[in-house]
């Protein structure tokens, strides 16, 4: 089996690569090394499997690659590459989101018209739902993003559906709900919280802390990705969540418990694009993919704290 992973040097992409290599897949990973956070983190992610005999790495922009050649004899495509970040997606920065999230996806799908793949799995986001009180968020519910980032992810979802409907490309889109765990990006909340706890620095808290999230451990997300690839259907959208909802203040208390340290919070106003609550309806993913989150938030945070602590100050 040959799998292509875009965004392979990232948080989730690197975990997925390790799992697929463990399953005996030949893995081709693509990454352009966006400058959204320090290259050293991405290099560290890649180092976990870079020398594996069944792994090949391509450092390039998807928009510039000869995609027909890349996808030749590929069984599964896992399209995780994206420009991340809700708060940074406004203004002139949106050109990066349209390039990396929309154009790159369209070009990949277009290339799939010339090859025969078993599944094109697209990594979407809970941001497509926007700031809604219609909870839990259902795949059949409304989508009204409140950030340009969310708009770009939803646009790519629509492209996946269009190419399935028009050309029969077997796409599945997965809406991730706030992923955490070892290798989490340094701009994400738990990484910031833990790093600053480690060095006894103030921790930024936007809004009042009573906003809530459905946090999902990285290994559960990877299980959902592979389940979607091996699922016989296509043209579908599924939520991948952690199976619960917790306020940020309560999540901070859990991190304080696993770290044995007290957080020094510095309050800031709510940011544009932030949503008040997220909670995933997992009924469809459980029914059709057999998806079931296995790692509790307590356990997952303990694993992430161990990873952060091992990196040192």
Distance CA 120, CA 114 (A): 14
180 counts as catalytic: no
* Helical packing angle, 189-198 and 297-311, nearest 10°: 50
Give the bridge partners for 180, in sequence order: 217
Q: Residue 166 contacts by C-beta under 8 Å, 6 or more apart in sequence?
A: none
Distance CA 238, CA 224 (A): 9
**236: burial class by Cβ within 10 Å (0-12, 13-18, 19+)?**
buried
Provide the CA 17 distance to its chain's centre, in angstroms. 14
Query: Could you say which of 149, 217, 231, 291 is catalytic?
Result: 149
Q: What angle do CA 87, 91, 93 make, to 5 degrees?
A: 75
- Among 125, 146, 129, 20, which residue's Cα sits nearest to residue 83? 125
Q: How far is CA 308 from CA 62, 120, 164, 311, in A?
A: 31, 33, 41, 5
Distance CA 149, CA 102 (A): 10
DSSP 3-state assignment of 202? strand
Q: Is the peptide bond before 136 cis (omega within 30 degrees of 0)?
A: yes
Q: What angle do CA 266, 269, 274 make, to 5 degrees?
A: 110
Active site residues: 149
């Amino acid at each position: 089996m040959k799998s292509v992973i875009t965004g392979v040097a990232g948080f989730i992409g690197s975990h997925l690569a390790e799992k697929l290599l463990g399953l005996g897949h030949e893995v081709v990973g693509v990454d352009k090394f966006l400058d959204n956070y320090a290259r050293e983190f991405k290099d560290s992610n890649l180092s976990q499997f870079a020398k594996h005999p069944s792994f090949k790495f391509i450092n390039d922009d998807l928009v510039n690659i000869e995609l027909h050649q890349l996808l030749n004899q590929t069984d599964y495509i896992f399209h995780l590459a994206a420009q991340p970040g809700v708060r940074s997606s406004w203004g002139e920065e949106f050109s990066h989101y349209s390039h990396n999230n929309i154009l790159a996806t369209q070009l990949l799908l277009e290339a799939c018209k010339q090859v025969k793949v078993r599944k094109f799995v697209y990594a979407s986001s809970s941001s497509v739902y926007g700031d809604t009180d219609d909870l839990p968020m259902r795949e059949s519910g409304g989508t009204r993003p409140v950030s340009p980032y969310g708009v770009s992810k939803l646009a790519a979802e629509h492209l996946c559906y269009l190419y399935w409907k028009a050309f029969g490309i077997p796409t599945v889109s997965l809406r991730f709900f706030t992923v955490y765990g070892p290798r989490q990006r340094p701009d994400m909340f738990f990484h910031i919280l833990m790093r600053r706890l480690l060095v006894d620095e103030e921790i930024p808290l936007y809004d009042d802390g009573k906003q809530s999230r459905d946090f999902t451990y990285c290994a559960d997300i990877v299980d959902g990705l592979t389940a979607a690839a091996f699922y016989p259907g296509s043209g579908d959208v599924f939520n991948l969540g952690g199976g619960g909802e917790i306020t940020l203040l309560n999540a901070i208390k859990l991190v304080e418990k696993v770290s044995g340290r007290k957080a020094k919070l510095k309050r800031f106003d709510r940011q544009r694009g932030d949503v008040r609550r997220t909670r995933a309806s997992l009924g469809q993913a459980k029914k059709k993919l057999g998806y079931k989150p296995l790692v509790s938030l307590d356990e997952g945070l303990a694993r992430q704290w161990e990873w952060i602590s091992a990196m040192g100050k």
